[in-house]
Amino acid sequence: MADQLVRATAAEGGIRIVGVITTRLTEEARQRHQLSYVATAALGRTMSAGLLLVSSMKRAESRVNLRVRGNGPLEGILVDAGLDGTVRGYVGNPKVELPPNDRGKLDVGGAVGSQGFLYVVRDVGYGYPYSSTVELVSGEIGDDITHYLVSSEQTPSALIVGVFVGASGVSAAGGLLVQVLPKAARDEALVEKLESRISALSGFTPLLQAGKSLPQIFEDLVGDMGLEIFPETQMVRFHCGCSFDRVLGALKILGKDELIDIIDKEGEAEAICEFCGQVYKANQSELETLIQELQLEQAER
């Protein structure tokens, strides 16, 4: 199934549901960053969470940045997700591999670490971004972001994210966000029913592996609670806005002397985008052009 995001409501708008399939984009991230199994799961879960969080924002330019800083060997995760359906991200140490946890699953919590912080930045594209920090609960990502939604945004929420990765790559990845808005929160029977159904789910990837589509998953969960699925399916993808021009801009900031030094010592400059792993090379004549530009700018002052 293609990577996609679907939104729905139930209980006359009192319940908000978003589902996302990120199988392909998680596989793309795995290949770009040459991620280990557990690093693939950790980054994939966080990318799904980023897309789910940004889906409730209104302005087209909105983005959510998630930074996970735990005390585990993964050395942190950074994800940048946009309301336009693009997402990118990386981990500090892509090679970490750990034995399975006591439930026989990839030990994401062990790799991330259960002590540390989750930083969430919501940026609507102008003015001051809204940022918030919570302590990690388990490092398993889903629990940590649920804790953020409940404690920091004060919305009763359940966030389930999962990645299934094997020897041939990522075969299922994605997540589900269910939120209870104030008007439904007063209906205790409804909330109870919803909670028991969510806790009966054994995860997100088993549903995908059973061949369920997002609308079918919603139907199983809240089909009898006045489910209304938004007609448009949004495509989501791994995308990084980096470019050779931006790399040249960053090199230029180093200044004339530093650039001359690079030409003398290396002959060329190499830069790797952390977010997507793209390698950029500026050769001697491109570096010399930058130096000329700097000299012209200096003369104009």
Which residues pair with residue 100 across a beta bridge?
A: none
Which helix (H) or strand (E) segment is 210 a member of?
Answer: none
| Nearest-approach distance from CB 192 to Zn ion, in angstroms | 45
| Nearest-approach distance from CB 263 to Zn ion, in angstroms | 25
Going by the DSSP 8-state scheme, the letter that residue 94 receives in this structure is: T
| Nearest-approach distance from CB 191 to Zn ion, in angstroms | 42
Q: Is 291 exposed, middle or buried (0-12, 13-18, 19+ CB in 10 A)?
A: middle
Q: Give 300's contacts (C-beta < 8 A, 6+ positions apart).
A: none
Cα separation values, 47 from 78, 93, 114, 200, 207, Å: 9, 16, 19, 24, 19
If the CB atoms of residues 216 and 278 are measured against Zn ion, the closer one turns out to be 278
Of 83, 111, 248, 273, the one binding Zn ion by CB under 5 A? 273
* Binding of residue 276 to Zn ion (CB under 5 A): yes
If the CB atoms of residues 29 and 66 are measured against Zn ion, the closer one turns out to be 29
Burial 105-130 (b: 16+ CB within 10 A, else e): ebbbbbbbbbebebebebbbeeeeee
| Nearest-approach distance from CB 86 to Zn ion, in angstroms | 11
Give the CA count within 13 Å in the CB-facing half-sphere of 49.
35
If the CB atoms of residues 153 and 274 are measured against Zn ion, the closer one turns out to be 274
If the CB atoms of residues 93 and 278 are measured against Zn ion, the closer one turns out to be 278
* Binding of residue 275 to Zn ion (CB under 5 A): yes
Name the segment binding Zn ion (CB under 5 A); options: 51-59, 91-99, 276-284, 290-298. Answer: 276-284
* Binding of residue 240 to Zn ion (CB under 5 A): yes
Of 6, 98, 118, 242, the one binding Zn ion by CB under 5 A? 242
* Binding of residue 259 to Zn ion (CB under 5 A): no
* Binding of residue 11 to Zn ion (CB under 5 A): no
| Nearest-approach distance from CB 241 to Zn ion, in angstroms | 7
Q: What are the tokens at 221?
A: 């969960």
If the CB atoms of residues 53 and 273 are measured against Zn ion, the closer one turns out to be 273
Contacts 24+ apart (CB under 8 A), 280-286: 280/242, 280/244, 280/247, 282/244, 282/247, 282/248, 282/251, 286/248
If the CB atoms of residues 26 and 157 are measured against Zn ion, the closer one turns out to be 26
Map residues 77-96 to x or -, x wherever contact with Zn ion holds by CB under 5 A: --------------------
If the CB atoms of residues 279 and 299 are measured against Zn ion, the closer one turns out to be 279
Cα separation values, 221 from 102, 186, 215, Å: 28, 20, 10
**Count of other CB atoms within 10 angstroms of residue 58:** 7
Which helix (H) or strand (E) segment is 80 a member of?
Answer: strand 77-82
Question: Residue 67 and residue 90: Cα distance in Å, rounded?
Answer: 10
If the CB atoms of residues 136 and 242 are measured against Zn ion, the closer one turns out to be 242
Name the segment binding Zn ion (CB under 5 A); options: 75-83, 165-173, 174-182, 272-280. Answer: 272-280
| Nearest-approach distance from CB 278 to Zn ion, in angstroms | 5
Q: Would you tell me which residues interact with Zn ion (CB under 5 A)?
A: 240, 242, 273, 275-276, 278
